[in-house]
Amino acid sequence: MNSCILLTHVFIEDGQQEKIDQLKFTTAHYRKYNPDAYIILVGHGLNPNVDNECDRLIWYDEINKDDIGVGHPYLTNVGLNHATEMGFTHVCKQRADGIHLKNNILEYCEKSLETGKKILTTQETSFQKKHMGDLFIFGETEFLKKCYDISTWYPTDTGLTSLANNFENSCPENDWVSCLKNNCSFKDTFSLRWIDLRQNWQHLKYDLDNLMLNALKDFHKYIWSDGKYDWSKRGKLLRNEFPVETEKTWYA
């Protein structure tokens, strides 16, 4: 596979220095553990000036309010289009304010995407609700562009449903579960070691040395959850606010 990293889903307003600090850290971390990867960062608002850690920084001074809270489809498409221009067949798209405690996230994703599958997904993708996690996703670039088709994204109040509908319409199967089972591989956010700096910054900003070394103690406490999930030290889902899948239910 010829893969790249796309970081987005971040806007910065006046007075939000913590977001700038988070992006300086996350981009440095991605570069450290993915030294040969092509990294694209797409955002809006105040410029974080992290050009030195990214291969391509696409930043808009004006905040696109229509993108916020609904999956950032416009900025995601900007990044996907650039990935296409650069010839990348696969993209790992992630919130720019999160990291993976992995030595090489692209290699991990490529190995985790099963033969014949188009997407590697994670929570909040669900069999029970027509929801597909829109923050982290890895897959074929051209297929992801269909899934993030902005012409069919709105009206919406969440990217979870817009992405799910576009994904379903891009699959040949006739029912939601079959679309997921036949076209997606699945990894828990725990397995991805996806650390959420946005929600945990007040604690993590005092432990950045260990975080940069991928040596964060009790990392399970800081796994992305948006306040909806809790994991045990061994990766068991202890609490979930909404019906979601896990590796255990996906491959049951």
Q: Which residues of 189-224 are buried (b: 16+ CB within 10 A; e: fewer)?
A: bbbbbbbbbbbbbeebeeeeeebeebebeebbebbb
Q: How many Å is the maximal CA-CA distance in the chain? A: 50
What is the pLDDT, as a whole number, of residue 201?
97
Question: Among residues of the chain, what percentage have pLDDT more than 70?
Answer: 100
List all residues 6 or more positions away from 15 whose beta carbon is below 8 Å from its beta carbon: none
Alpha helices in 46-115, H assignment, sequence order: 73-85, 105-112
What is the pLDDT, as a whole number, of residue 227?
84
| Main-chain dihedrals φ then ψ at residue 9, nearest 5 degrees | 70, 25
Question: Among residues of the chain, what percentage have pLDDT more than 90?
Answer: 95
Question: Is pLDDT above 90 for 1?
Answer: no
Q: 3-class SS at 117?
A: coil
Q: Please state the length of the chain.
A: 252
Rounded Cα distance between 147 and 130, Å, is 14
What is the pLDDT, as a whole number, of residue 215?
97
What is the pLDDT, as a whole number, of residue 244?
85
Domains of the chain, residue spans: 3-250
What is the pLDDT, as a whole number, of residue 199?
95
29, two tokens: 């971390």
Give the amino acid at 173.
E
Q: Tell me: the pLDDT tens digits for 55-96?
A: 999 999 999 999 999 999 999 999 999 999 999 999 999 999
Residue listed under structure tokens 């809006």: 44
Least confident segment among 35-39, 213-217, 231-235, 238-242: 238-242
Structure confidence at residue 242 as a pLDDT band (50, 70, 90): confident
The CATH number fitting domain 3-250, selected from 3.90.550.10, 3.40.50.2300, 3.40.50.620, 3.40.50.300: 3.90.550.10
Question: Is pLDDT above 90 for 247?
Answer: yes
What number of H helices and E strands is found in the chain? Answer: 10, 12
65, two tokens: 């309010």
Question: Is pLDDT above 90 for 226?
Answer: no
Q: Tell me: the pLDDT tens digits for 142-195?
A: 999 999 999 999 999 999 999 999 999 999 999 999 999 999 999 999 999 999
In the chain, what are the helix, strand and coil shares in percent, each to the nearest 5? Answer: 40, 20, 40
What is the pLDDT, as a whole number, of residue 75?
98
Question: Is pLDDT above 90 for 243?
Answer: no
What is the pLDDT, as a whole number, of residue 236?
94
Rounded Cα distance between 5 and 195, Å, is 16
Rounded Cα distance between 55 and 83, Å, is 11
Rounded Cα distance between 72 and 77, Å, is 9
Average pLDDT, the chain: 96
Residue 184 half-sphere exposure toward CB, CA atoms < 13 A: 33
